[in-house]
């Protein structure tokens, strides 16, 4: 798929990986829908940066775990651009709670942020894409969702990302052959999520990779860009982890 003039909706795109994805797709001439749950100022700043680069973008505030707000997000997208060609389900969050201290509310909160947000947006996008004869859905998973990749302390997050991977593969079967569905599984990516992580633990993470390096948000965005353009890949998970899971 050539990206020029394509409409790309990116959830959770006011900062970090989502922002990098938005800027990279905009640089290819795509029209971008920037989204955030709370970070309105940052989301609007991303839109301005895209405009400054000569591309088109809008910002829509929405909690994508809320069906009504998801409907509003897509309604505003359609009102502005008339369609959705590519959906990138990037929104998500880690909530670190030891499993024996967790409860059902904690698990539901984490699954809302990381799984149900992707499900709700994918349903709406797929309806649009089916009427136009094609499209792309790309989910942001995690190495924590890979087999044996779960980490203690973030068990709910690990399980939710494993569910995202299963959802990706099964949705690819459901929507083939016209709509391609894939996922990217980032490893240790240098974002604000690590701001409060102890230095010793961050060093441990990086030393566990073959390349001994942090991954940048732009490097993750490269993977999304590749999958958006690929014509023969569906139901796959592209791992970008500097060799952490080898």
Mean pLDDT over 103-119 rounds to 98
**pLDDT the model gives residue 43:** 98
What six digits make up the tokens of 183?
Answer: 């996922």
- Helices 217-229 and 16-27: crossing angle in degrees, nearest 10, is 50
Contact indicator for 44, 59 with CB cutoff of 8 Å: yes
**What tens digit of pLDDT does each residue of 27-38 get?**
999 999 999 999
Question: Which pTM value belongs to this model?
Answer: 0.97
pLDDT of residue 1: 84
Whole-number pLDDT of residue 196: 87
For range 47-65, the mean pLDDT = 98
User: Which residue segments constitute the domains of the chain, with CATH numbers given?
Assistant: 7-240 (3.40.50.720)
Structure tokens at 78: 């359609």
Only one residue has tokens 């999304």, namely 224
pLDDT in tens, 63-104: 999 999 999 999 999 999 999 999 999 999 999 999 999 999
Contact 24, 8 (CB under 8 A): no
Chain centre to alpha carbon of residue 89: 4
Over the stretch 116-146, which tens digit does the pLDDT of each residue have?
999 999 999 999 999 999 999 999 999 999 9
Catalytic residues: 157
Spatial distance between the Cα atoms of 246 and 242, rounded to a whole number of angstroms? 9
What tens digit of pLDDT does each residue of 157-215 get? 999 999 999 999 999 999 999 999 999 999 999 999 899 899 999 999 999 999 999 99
How does pLDDT run across 4-21, given as a tens digit for each residue?
Answer: 999 999 999 999 999 999
User: Are 175 and 136 a contacting pair, CB within 8 Å?
Assistant: no
The whole-number pLDDT of residue 141 equals 98
């Amino acid at each position: 798929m050539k990206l020029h003039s394509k409409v790309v909706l990116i959830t959770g795109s006011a900062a970090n990986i989502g922002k990098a994805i938005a800027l990279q797709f905009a640089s290819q001439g795509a029209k971008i829908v920037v989204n955030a749950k709370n970070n309105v100022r940052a989301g609007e700043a991303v839109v301005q940066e895209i405009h400054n680069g000569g591309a088109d973008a809008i910002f829509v505030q929405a909690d994508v775990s809320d069906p009504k707000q998801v409907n509003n997000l897509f309604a505003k997208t359609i009102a502005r651009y008339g369609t959705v060609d590519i959906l990138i389900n990037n929104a998500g969050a880690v909530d670190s709670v030891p499993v024996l201290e967790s409860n059902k509310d904690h698990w539901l909160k984490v699954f809302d942020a990381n799984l149900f947000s992707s499900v709700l947006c994918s349903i709406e996008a797929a309806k649009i894409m089916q009427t136009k004869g094609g499209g792309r859905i790309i989910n942001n998973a995690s190495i924590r969702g890979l087999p044996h990749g779960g980490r203690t302390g973030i068990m709910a997050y690990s399980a939710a990302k494993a569910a995202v991977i299963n959802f990706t593969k099964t949705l690819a079967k459901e929507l083939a052959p016209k709509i391609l569905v894939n996922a990217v599984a980032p490893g240790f990516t240098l974002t604000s999520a690590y701001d409060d992580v102890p230095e010793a633990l961050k060093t441990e993470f990086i030393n566990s990779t073959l390349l001994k390096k942090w991954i940048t948000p732009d490097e993750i965005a490269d993977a999304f860009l590749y999958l958006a353009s690929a014509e023969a890949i569906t139901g796959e998970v592209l791992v970008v982890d500097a060799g952490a899971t080898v």
